[in-house]
Structure 1
């Protein structure tokens, strides 16, 4: 009840401030300049694993820099080239996000302000015995991996498209990931809306390193070796300019986990989701 009251107050105060809006943040970053915004509100990023706590979201930074070639955007470091006015290609690198599910606080679990199909995978709904449930506290520590890859971006009026191919360049899991994310933007009197949908394919090696149970785990644990995984995702994002630098914002993101992941004894849920509602302020 308290959470609903807080959400209602956020909405009422946001619309009241919007009616008295001054010059607004246009949401863009100038070339060769840094952008830094900070969001304050309430939210959560869930973990689908046994005994891995959900991560509360109270403060979320949004940091980016775009030069003529190089850029940094919320943890992604890269160098890009415009192919046409609507297409660009980049070499990119990032911290692999899979380890974040094993910890309550981890930088890779902080959602970005900005943010996707193939056939739907099967989802395992079979009940598990207690012997098949494995806590993240029982297994070996999962590695911190650094990925490198290629990113292709496209802009078509109200549509955006992003394709990514990632591979482990740190030698920690020797796996790969491919993703396709498409989004439609819509501007109304009630703010800016974006609906995104996508799919994430993760290779067998990546899944095995983080969600498998191998011979070097404690002997009492069941062995499990997953196959490659396909994970669809949907996101709804909304923002409303208030006054100079200020916006009200909210998002909800839901990812389906297929049977390659849900059959792991480490996994207790067939989904992962994140949500947030609050204000953001752009400092520069």
Structure 2
């Protein structure tokens, strides 16, 4: 954890001196999606997302689709719908929707296990878990858990902003549960830096993902029917997960490219304390070829 903290501080502090100069978000470092045209891609390869939940399998990744359409204001991006309120060379402000990512650990065909990344209007990175166990072993000294109740998927909606600088792109997003599943709120702060060298493209992203108490309690809290002991002894709190992501593309032809993605998420202590987890992190990787139609 100490090494991760040092790396995060380095990623934040190193480029600060150049933030005063801004660049066009569709400059040479980014290949934007053409307005009024569907952007469709399919990646074929091999990858895996580790599952921090006890007695749940890791998530295999073989096929990853990308579907996006951007109009003058409205857009559809891998299942997410948004509306641009204001746009300039230096910033963009959108009304946006997004998937709940926590439900992906409980359901194999959750959308977050299919659409691993969004296009975010830049060059797209086109990219499941088994059902809930009947009984879970416990390694934290308390009673075992009975059959779990459902942890359902939900759709989040809110507002996001992008700030474009020479040091990369800053993204801030605040969303709330739209389907009244847990009535929780999430907030995300993300920094993305993209480098293009001939046929190569590299992107590094640093993300802080805050989840309200309602979100943590719904997905990682314990119901009395699951365990009276743990429902009384584990108290959910708001939490911040920290992630690092690296993506690389190599252009082969107009339509074909090689693709590599790696992501590491340090799960917050407030979530790790739940008896549902046996890992304090989750990692994702994918390597393969992508075809852009």
Under TM normalisation by the shorter chain, which class is it? 0.7 to 0.9
Measured after TM superposition, the shift of residue 43 of structure 1 is 0.3
CA distance in 2, matches of 1:48, 1:130: 18
CA distance in 1, matches of 2:237, 2:180: 19
Q: What is the match of residue 62 of structure 1?
A: 66
Measured after TM superposition, the shift of residue 114 of structure 1 is 4.5
Q: What is the match of residue 185 of structure 1?
A: 194
Q: What is the match of residue 22 of structure 2?
A: none
The DSSP-based 3-state class of the residue aligned with 2:112 is helix
Q: What is the match of residue 18 of structure 1?
A: none
Q: Deviations over 1:40-66 (max 9, x none)?
A: 111011211012221111110111110
Q: Deviations over 1:125-162 (max 9, x none)?
A: xx94464664xx82101122221110111222461121
Q: How does 1:192-231 map to 2 (within 5 A)?
A: 192-215=201-224, 217-219=225-227, 222-223=230-231, 224-231=234-241
CA RMSD of aligned residues (A): 2.0
- Which structure's relative contact order is higher, taking Cα pairs within 8 Å and 6+ residues apart? 1
Q: What is the match of residue 148 of structure 2?
A: 139
CA distance in 2, matches of 1:245, 1:113: 19
CA distance in 2, matches of 1:54, 1:195: 24
Structure 2 residue runs without a partner (length 5+)? 1-29, 121-137
Q: How does 1:35-74 map to 2 (within 5 A)?
A: 35-74=39-78
With over 3 angstroms needed to count, the CA separation of the structure-2 counterparts of 1:133 and 1:185, relative to structure 1, is: farther
Counterpart check, 1:234 vs 2:244: yes
Q: Deviations over 1:63-98 (max 9, x none)?
A: 111001100111211101334222111111123221
Deviates more, 1:198-207 or 1:47-56: 47-56
Counterpart check, 1:155 vs 2:180: no
Aligned residues of 1:53 and 1:104 also touching (Cα < 8 A): no
Q: Deviations over 1:195-247 (max 9, x none)?
A: 110100000011001100133x3345522221001111001110010012111
Q: What is the match of residue 91 of structure 2?
A: 87
**TM-score normalized by the length of structure 2:** 0.78
Q: Deviations over 1:140-190 (max 9, x none)?
A: 011222211101112224611211101112111011000011011112246
Aligned residues of 2:110 and 2:153 also touching (Cα < 8 A): no
Measured after TM superposition, the shift of residue 109 of structure 1 is 2.1
Pick from 109, 112, 130: which aligns with 2:113? 109
Aligned residues of 1:35 and 1:63 also touching (Cα < 8 A): yes
Measured after TM superposition, the shift of residue 35 of structure 1 is 0.3
Measured after TM superposition, the shift of residue 113 of structure 1 is 6.1
Q: What is the match of residue 269 of structure 1?
A: 279
Aligned residues of 1:132 and 1:265 also touching (Cα < 8 A): no
Measured after TM superposition, the shift of residue 262 of structure 1 is 0.5
Aligned residues of 1:80 and 1:90 also touching (Cα < 8 A): yes
With over 3 angstroms needed to count, the CA separation of the structure-2 counterparts of 1:47 and 1:83, relative to structure 1, is: same
**TM-score normalized by the length of structure 1:** 0.80
CA distance in 1, matches of 2:176, 2:273: 24
Measured after TM superposition, the shift of residue 108 of structure 1 is 1.6
